[in-house]
Structure 1
């Protein structure tokens, strides 16, 4: 929690103003019982109507000023808390954006969403409460005790019995509630995870008639969240009856012993009334502190989760001394590259070596799980190699700044990702400076021009969230157009033609030859027809290179490639 509170520094003058206004408001509130005591002991006892009216006017003025100061405290405290929450949320988002895929996999998208929203909201609320209540309650407690003692020191001994009872109750309740807050946040993570999975995979869930199963899974997690929440709230609910009992019995004791002292002539009625007011202020300040003690542990649990993300550093960092890359060439070289996913027993890639040159198409083919997509993901440094090196124009990509490296690449992922906005905005995602004509040219090359023109507003037509109003083939073609608009040195196509029919596939490959004649192309594919015209084909088998060569060469000397070709020919014949 302390680490996060450093983000309040930009608002220190506003925090100081809140403290000053809070102090002024409390002094006015503490002054009111004294004025009331004077009205009773002087004005009413002596029958002095003028004095009563005079003090009454002062009480009204003090009350109005106290209300104004309280409103100002609320305004500035809320402003500080909301600004604090915004700053942490921005810091967390920017920090997460620099994570490698390894860190994403470790925490999980659902948990990151919870930490960026719910957890930050918990901390933000506690900061707001601390500024409004944690500063107010101690000042009111100390001021109330001092003024109560000044009114009647003997009667103040009642607090020696009341305060320990109230403090002990708060401690016991907080001790039981604190462990449940962390558990509640984990249950929130679980709910978010299940909800996210079900929404993303809704087509699969319905296609396999698993709606009932998903309902049962979600209901179980929801029930666990509810049960934990009920346990927490039951514990917290017991706090307020305990407080009310202590406060009421304290009031009875004050009236009882105060009446005895008045009867003995040792205390005046006005003083007793003022003492009761101060007693309520003291006890109410303890109530406010108890609420704070309840909320702070939950915020601490959230703060730990936020700090866990902020303190996590990406394994992939820019070097201290950044090498300068070439702007013209694009020779990509793999030298004995080995990579394994965290916790995996076997490497996903083992001792992979090849070279891809500008003006040539290098195709990568292999069975499912052979490591084709993994190979492509190593080039933008989504993951770093375990052994060996990947070089561009003779420079190890780990010696380049990540921004410089990725500026050289045009990456088309296996699963096309579209963003909410227009078609043009999605194409410009990789290059904001291109004109509408260049956007349309990229779409034509990607064989997307026809369906874009058919849409109302053309390239300015809206795309729904995650491209829900597009087919799989349309999303793939727009994703390819986005990479083409970037005009990089190296194109990475990760099975990007899988949703296209054979005719569109052939037309697209022909158009790419003309548009990307000077670029290096790496093409991952499942279909032999997609890679048959490549300048070189790399055959992967269980993470190892089984063969490199042209289609004809591999047909004559690579058994794995022969099996792939034979299996696809058999499928076509049977079809």
Structure 2
């Protein structure tokens, strides 16, 4: 219930539509309740007395009431659909906006496939419950209570038959709802796994084909799809049992009413019209019970989806963006003061241990180390993708927590280890770094990043990169990402192994272009010694700690790890040439 109240705030802008829908459904309900009384009057008074004028007059009233019910029903459908779709749109927009506020630590808590499901399937379930559930939810209790009162008013003795059947039906429907409701959470979880498998297979389709693993992934998808089908069959197979239970109860009730009602008509206790009207009310009552059970099943699934959406909306961003903080990074100085870091508070070991470093403004810094040594973790602290667990990280002489996070990230450009391009043209992608960049500025950035070497071959700035940049190679992606970051004109540029897929000659040209940027601090993570040997400072990380710092000449003379790296990459002739 708390979750329902929480999401109700997103009904803003559509409350009047909801109110109109409620009033219209009440009008429809009252009109439908009046029809059996009018029918009984036609039979018991008009037909028995032979008054054709009374029959016609009452019949006209029935037509008017029926038309009124129809108009109210149509009006409800329009306003409820508008309210439901608007509510869903507001909820989806709020969930997406909240996701944008997440820190990386928050995103680590959710699978991307699960977030997609919560933004799409779960909100669609809530919308459907709104459209299909509000009408019976409002109508059914009114129809049930009013039908019972009016049926008893017609014939209290005949109502006993119904009251005998009612408890059995209520218990049966209650057991069905109790059994099925928990299954919806399981169903949505299996839907998450299906989306995860599908998303992974589509992203990795080239690798799948390259390794001829179509059969393997098809079998994996078949297993997950079968699990979803089995779960859905079990869930909805239980849900549809309410219909047989309702039909059985209805059949027994009709037989009982016709048996005892026929005897009462024969003895003159009630008229045929009364029996006919009573049967109409019983039908209304039974339908109300059936709708109530269906609504409970619908709401049980919707409540599960509401809970999943609220998990996203209630997740507090792990990082304060500090919107009132400093708005500009004044220079490219970087300092880490006794920094320790771990990704989760429950992690047993730190990824970084007591790291203390200083990078001068405009300098070039190389970072080397083995896999898992903490290189990427270290540079992710500079733009506050994560916050240090202990110690302080300073950029431009100021603690990164004192900046407005958007201003900090504008001042610390980062070429991520995993290159990301978007659907659209080269120009569209590069303008992510600077939406107002002119074509001349874009081309200048392309020259520094050596994008100009292949730009004409792919169609210039108007070339379509395809989904995820699928129309260009890995090395070309890296160069485009470097150009995009250059357009942002940051004070600090971080290159997280971002030239690993280019050949050494191109790598050298990119480094030469970057070296000409005197007012920008360049932090380069690399696997190749050749990529950082000209740096003003080289940092060797080992198991999350600073093992050594110095220039190429200093480390080559004194540090065994650096010596081993240099020797292995030069003696074996493996320069780490990338391929395009």
* Fold-level similarity (TM above 0.5): yes
Question: How far did 1:9 drift?
Answer: 4.7
Structure 2 residue 108 is the aligned partner of structure 1 residue 80: no
Question: How far did 1:493 drift?
Answer: 0.8
Cα-to-partner distance string for 1:396-446 (whole Å, 9 max, x where unaligned): 112222112112111111111011122111111122111222222222221
Structure 1 554/331 Cα, relative in aligned 2: closer, same or farther at 3 Å? same
Structure 2 residue 259 is the aligned partner of structure 1 residue 256: yes
Separation in 2, partners of 1:83, 1:262: 53
Which residue, out of 89, 110, 113, partners 1:110?
A: 113
Most deviating of 334-343 and 175-184: 334-343
Alignment of 1:501-520 (within 5 A): 501-514=503-516, 516-520=517-521
Structure 1 323/60 Cα, relative in aligned 2: closer, same or farther at 3 Å? closer
Alignment of 1:16-415 (within 5 A): 16-319=19-322, 322-324=324-326, 326-342=328-344, 343-415=346-418
Look up the match of 1:463: 465
Question: How far did 1:319 drift?
Answer: 4.6
Aligned length: 572
Alignment of 1:514-553 (within 5 A): 514=516, 516-553=517-554
Q: Is the 8 A contact 1:15 1:131 kept in 2?
A: no
Question: How far did 1:49 drift?
Answer: 2.6
Cα-to-partner distance string for 1:50-89 (whole Å, 9 max, x where unaligned): 3322222222222222111101111111111111111111
Question: How far did 1:129 drift?
Answer: 2.9
Structure 1 124/574 Cα, relative in aligned 2: closer, same or farther at 3 Å? closer
Secondary structure in 2 matching 1:532: coil
Question: How far did 1:242 drift?
Answer: 0.9
Q: Is the 8 A contact 1:492 1:522 kept in 2?
A: yes
TM-score by length of 1: 0.95
Structure 1 300/574 Cα, relative in aligned 2: closer, same or farther at 3 Å? closer
Separation in 1, partners of 2:47, 2:378: 92
Separation in 2, partners of 1:280, 1:378: 68
**Which runs of no fewer than 5 residues in structure 2 stay unpaired?**
none
Cα-to-partner distance string for 1:510-546 (whole Å, 9 max, x where unaligned): 12222x2211111111111111111111111222112
Alignment root-mean-square deviation, CA = 1.9
TM-score by length of 2: 0.94
Separation in 2, partners of 1:129, 1:534: 66
Q: Is the 8 A contact 2:329 2:407 kept in 1?
A: no
Cα-to-partner distance string for 1:299-355 (whole Å, 9 max, x where unaligned): 2222222222222212211359x4425543121111111112325433222222221
Look up the match of 1:563: 564
Separation in 2, partners of 1:193, 1:567: 40
Look up the match of 1:492: 494
**Which runs of no fewer than 5 residues in structure 1 stay unpaired?**
none
Q: Is the 8 A contact 1:326 1:393 kept in 2?
A: no
Secondary structure in 1 matching 2:317: coil
Separation in 1, partners of 2:166, 2:562: 83
Separation in 2, partners of 1:427, 1:394: 30
